[in-house]
């Protein structure tokens, strides 16, 4: 289920670093639009009072701690080991996220109940959310298999919940559009370039899910090596 000490430090740091590289453009956008400079921002981030405020905010706890931990535990740590022996690792990586995407359909009920928008726009928004949550779910499933740890997917999930979906339209209209779009492109390019090296299983020790498949006589070499 991804709870082990072997290789835990690279499993915590490298997937998060990889995800932050993918979000290079949005991070640049956030820094450009932030009224405070880097030193002031670091003071706020490192201040104990700021963390104490966050830990007493139920919305922050839900988005940054509870949801990432419980969703990754259910849809990656529990579901992948059950699906993989039946379907193989490759199909399981793309099947698990479908359940993960459907699990977010409760937002449709909330929006319909409170009449937050028209029915058509609500279902269009739900289809879009299903698409990107399914893609994200496939990514964290890939991380879980390649690292053999749950901590990496949980930290990446928490980071992505904080960042939200990249504001590409705002970037296109930004006063510093050219460097910003270059940051978006560079982030995606570096992410694709570093995806395999930073998730190399040799960095993380033995992979429990791959060991399980080997015992059943079925191992997917491309993901396990």
> Cα separations (Å) of 85 from 71, 72, 142, 210, 215?
21, 19, 16, 10, 10
Annotated catalytic residue 104: yes
Find out whether 210 and 219 touch, Cβ atoms under 8 Å: yes
% of the chain beyond a pLDDT of 90: 38
Three-class secondary structure of residue 128 per DSSP:
helix
* 208 vs 116 pLDDT, higher one: 208
Question: For the chain, which residues make up each domain, given as ranges?
Answer: 8-216
In the predicted structure, residue 112 carries a pLDDT above the cut 70: no
Which of these is catalytic: 71, 72, 157, 220?
Answer: 71
Annotated catalytic residue 149: no
> Cα separations (Å) of 130 from 20, 103, 104, 119?
22, 9, 7, 16
Among the residues of 64-176, which ranges form H helices?
67-72, 79-87, 89-102, 106-113, 119-147, 151-163, 168-172
Which of these is catalytic: 6, 104, 107, 174?
Answer: 104
Instruction: Find tokens 């298999």 and name the residue.
Output: 145
pLDDT (0 to 100) of residue 42: 65
Report the mean per-residue pLDDT for the chain.
84
Which range, 80-84, 146-150, 151-155, 203-207, is most confident?
151-155
pLDDT (0 to 100) of residue 45: 67
Residue 68, Cα to own-chain centre: how many angstroms?
A: 9
In the predicted structure, residue 211 carries a pLDDT above the cut 80: no
User: For 203, which DSSP code?
Assistant: G
């Amino acid at each position: 289920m991804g709870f082990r000490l072997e290789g835990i430090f690279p499993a915590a740091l490298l997937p998060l670093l990889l995800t932050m590289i993918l979000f290079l453009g949005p991070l640049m956008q956030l820094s450009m639009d932030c009224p405070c400079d880097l030193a002031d921002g670091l003071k706020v981030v490192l201040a104990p009072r700021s963390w104490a405020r966050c830990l007493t905010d139920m919305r922050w706890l839900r988005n940054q701690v509870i949801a990432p931990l419980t969703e990754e535990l259910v849809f990656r740590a529990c579901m992948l080991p059950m699906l993989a022996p039946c379907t193989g690792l490759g199909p399981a990586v793309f099947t698990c996220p479908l359940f993960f995407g459907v699990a977010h359909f409760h937002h449709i009920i909330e929006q319909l109940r409170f009449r937050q928008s028209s029915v058509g726009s609500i279902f269009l928004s739900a289809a879009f959310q299903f698409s990107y949550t399914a893609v994200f779910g496939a990514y964290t499933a890939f991380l879980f298999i390649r690292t053999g740890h749950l901590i990496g997917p949980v930290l990446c999930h928490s980071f992505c919940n904080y960042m939200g979906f990249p504001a590409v339209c705002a970037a296109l209209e930004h006063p510093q559009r050219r460097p910003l779009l270059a940051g978006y492109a560079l982030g995606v390019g570096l992410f694709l370039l570093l995806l395999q090296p930073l998730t190399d299983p040799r960095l993380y020790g033995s992979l429990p899910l791959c060991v399980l498949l080997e015992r059943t006589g079925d191992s997917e070499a491309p993901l396990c090596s």
